[in-house]
Structure formats: C-alpha cells, structure tokens
Structure 1
Amino acid sequence: MSQTTLLDNVNHHDLKIITEHGARFGDNVNQVLTFPSEYADVHREYPILFHRDSASGDYQSIALLGLARDENLFLDESGWDANYVPAVIARGPFLIGLHGDSGEPMIHVDMDSPRVNRSQGQAVFLTHGGHSPYLSRISEILQRIHRGVAGSADMFAAFTACDLIEPVKLELQLNDNERYIIDHFSTISGERMAALTGAQLESLNRQGYLQLAFYVLASLGNTPQLIERKNRRSVAMVS
C-alpha cells in the first residue's frame, strides 16, 4: 500500500532518498516497463520486448532483466550492474500525477517507500527550498517517462499499420540440464521490416519510429548477455 502525495518544499523540506539498488527496494524483478523515449539507452543493455494487455489489447514495452521469477541479473551485492538503469527503476519513489482541474503534471512521492526517510541519502530540496541536483535529475527522468507514455500508443499504431509486430519465442539453453523458454511476448519482424515499401519507410522515418524499430531489433542481441550473467551467477552460488 503506497501513500502518494504531492511533493512540496515545505512538508518535505528535509526529505532524503536512499538511491542504492537492492532487493529490499523492490529491484529484484525480471522485467520492467520501458518507453520509446529511452529506447536509445535501453537497447544497448537489455532485450526490449512487447507485451499485449489481455484486457485492453494495448501493447506495452518491457526490458527483460532476468530469466526466472523475481530474478534481476543486473542486480548484485554492489548495486545495479549496467551503464543505464531503466527510468521506472531510476525514478525511485517519485511519479508524475495530474494535479487539480488543470490536469497539470506534477511530481508526487510515495512516502511509504523504503527509500524515503529524513536522515540518510540524497537531499530532495536545498536548504533554502530550491530543487537539489538530485531532484532535478529525477524531474528529467519523470519527463522522459511522461513523454514515453504519451508516445507509446502512436508508435504501436504505426508498427501495427505496417504489420511489423510478430510473436517471439526465445529458447535459452544455459547448459545440458537447464533451458528457459520465454514466450507470450512480441517483437519487430526483421523480415517484414526488409519488405517495407519506400512510402512506408518514409512515413515511419518522418514520425521518428523507424529508428525505434531498429532499436528493438538490435536489443535482442543482448539476450546472450542474460545467459552469461545467469551462468556466472550459478557458478558463484556453487562455489
């Protein structure tokens, strides 16, 4: 149960946030939502897959972090082992909420988060009430998420119109006795991408979606890295 409230520099003047990563902060997840606005960074580290909501039929993007339930292969004793932390994780206890009748997006904070306290971590506000450098960075992350949420539907509509989305089944063989099958996801079809007409390519490029489709395709090249991380972790547990 979260206690989400509008962030302000009076009630939260001395608020501090623990920014390290660990299972106790809920970081031990095998997938996390990701957005077109961060594909350029995410595709260098994690496989990007599409999940279709069974109720609404809408597509969402996820970054694959692990192979088993509650397994994050990028999380170790020293923290998050990657150059880029997905925005949904990096935002910590903060989120954007629509405020008042105007519906203006404003920063909210989950006061029940184990990261939130008054004694240790990064200060949210400066002594005289201004945004700390940490909060300024969080604001940029939240804006990236906000843009990504707003643009996802149009991107998936463009991909669907070009018939680019297809189911994918990843079969990952770790050793002679251990194999993982990851299905119920979709991706961009490389074959259909190659068959796009000039008009379709121009339209996708003009809308900014062509590069995003290439990012998704390229991200699948990170799948072997998951196997390597899984194998290293298994060896470490045995030893």
Structure 2
Amino acid sequence: MTFTTLDNVDHAELRVAVRAGAAFGDHANLLPIFPIEFEEAQRELPIVFRRGEDGGIRAYVLLGLDRGENLFLDGDRWTTRFVPAIQRRGPFALTRGDDGETVVQIDPDDPRVGAADGLPLFRDHGGDAPYLEHVRAALDLLAAGAQSERAIHADFETAGLLRGVTLRIDLGDAGGYELTDLLTIDQAALAGLSGATLERLHANGLLRAATMAAASLGNMERLIELKTLREAA
C-alpha cells in the first residue's frame, strides 16, 4: 500500500468507487469506532469494548458472530445507514505536510481508484466534490477520535462503568455462540452514578456517550435475527 498526495490538478478527472468487501476490510465481525460515533452507531449496531495487549480499551461495533462475518453487508454495500469512519474513508489517508497542515493522500493501487463507476473527487470548476467532502469528514473524525478515545475509555473504567461479559447466544437448532473477552457498559453502575463522578461525566459529555453505548445492546436482537436468517438460507 503506497499513498500519494491528492492533487486537484493531477487528479482532476479521477473517480473512486464506493464499494465494500473483504479486500477492503469490511468482512469483520468487529470494527473499531470512536466515542464521537456512538450516537449514530447505537441506532443500528451493538457497541462493545475490548482491552488490547497494551491495556488500552477500544470501542467496537459488533457485526457478526463468526470471525470475518459482517451480517450488515449485502454484496458490496452496507445495509446500515451508519458505516464506521474507518471504512467510510475508503482508499484515503490523512497526513501532515511540511507546513503542518493536514493533507489527504490516496492509494492509487486500490482497485476502487479509477473505477469506471466511481464518483468524482473534484468539481468541474474546482473545489471538492461531495464524495471527497464525505471522505475528508471521515478522516477528520478518525484523527480527532484517535487523540481522545484512550482518555474517554479510561474515564469509563475509572467510573466503574465497564464490566467484563461473555455474550451467550442461542440459535436453537443452528447451535450457539459464546463471545468472550468483551466489555460493555454496566447498566446498574450507570444508573447508580452520583456526586462528583456523575457531575464530571455529565459536564464532559461522557455520560451521554455511556448511555448510548449501553442502549446499543438492544440491537443484539437484530443481529441474531440476521444470523438466524443466514443460517436458514
């Protein structure tokens, strides 16, 4: 993977396809998201947490029960309105130029780049086309999220809001699953917050984020429904 700086002159006519698939990292049962994405994600997908080898905690959307399974894909398209920013960015990346300003780069070897059915990156008379604006927003979100996520998740843990769980899922004749090494927001701990901890989390917006992550687990029913339908097919 070799990135090159995007240029509105050299790449004026370039088109990029909006396409999902295993080759682009979409076939995963867990994809990382940032707290800033919780509001959109919780409407459709379960949000869980995992502790990395370095002890840091990351948030993920749960997309399937088997490794490499995304039940929210239909061919090369997502069926959800929400798509994690890490996938919305497509074949693009953000870096800093010599002047310290952020610069968008593109991977010219990605098969989506130059596709005949792709979307334009620039308008005919200059300026970013809507697709590139969409990509820039995703890249900016990733940059901001990477700077803040560790502190936010550490705050959740310090407040006693994260608990280790094993999700046991019974699919009847199709068998069952146990998803281990997961953390979720503890509903009882969330309801029991008080005093300075409650005030602090409310003041910095983390109380809302924790509430949305907890509410997202109601989407497990939809995920199980999709898995049952797939097994039946």
Contact 1:25–1:114 at 8 Å: present in 2 too?
no
Identity within the alignment, %:
39
Separation in 2, partners of 1:84, 1:118: 24
Structure 1 residue 119 corresponds to structure 2 residue 116: yes
After superposition, the Cα gap between the structure-2 partners of 1:52 and 1:105, relative to the gap in structure 1 and judged at 3 Å, is farther
Contact 2:25–2:87 at 8 Å: present in 1 too?
no
Task: Show the counterpart of 1:204.
Answer: 201
After superposition, the Cα gap between the structure-2 partners of 1:45 and 1:118, relative to the gap in structure 1 and judged at 3 Å, is closer
Task: Show the counterpart of 1:84.
Answer: 82
Separation in 2, partners of 1:203, 1:119: 51
Q: What is the one-letter code of the residue matched to 1:188? A: I
Contact 1:16–1:119 at 8 Å: present in 2 too?
yes
Task: Show the counterpart of 1:225.
Answer: 222
Which of 101, 104, 107 lines up with 1:107 in the alignment?
A: 104
Contact 2:174–2:231 at 8 Å: present in 1 too?
no
Q: What is the one-letter code of the residue matched to 1:26? A: G
The aligned length equals 233
Task: Show the counterpart of 1:16.
Answer: 15
- Deviation, structure 1 residue 101: 5.9
Task: Show the counterpart of 2:32.
Answer: 33
4+ long deviations beyond 3 Å: 22-26
Deviates more, 1:215-224 or 1:83-92: 83-92
Separation in 2, partners of 1:154, 1:106: 26
Separation in 1, partners of 2:116, 2:68: 30
- Deviation, structure 1 residue 78: 6.7
Query: Unmatched 5+ residue regions in structure 1?
Result: none
Please give the root-mean-square deviation of Cα atoms over the aligned residues, in Å: 1.7
Separation in 1, partners of 2:171, 2:70: 16
Normalising by structure 1, we get a TM-score of 0.90
After superposition, the Cα gap between the structure-2 partners of 1:174 and 1:52, relative to the gap in structure 1 and judged at 3 Å, is same
Contact 1:97–1:108 at 8 Å: present in 2 too?
yes
Task: Show the counterpart of 2:65.
Answer: 67
- Deviation, structure 1 residue 24: 4.5
Q: What is the one-letter code of the residue matched to 1:179? A: G
Normalising by structure 2, we get a TM-score of 0.93
Query: Unmatched 5+ residue regions in structure 2?
Result: none
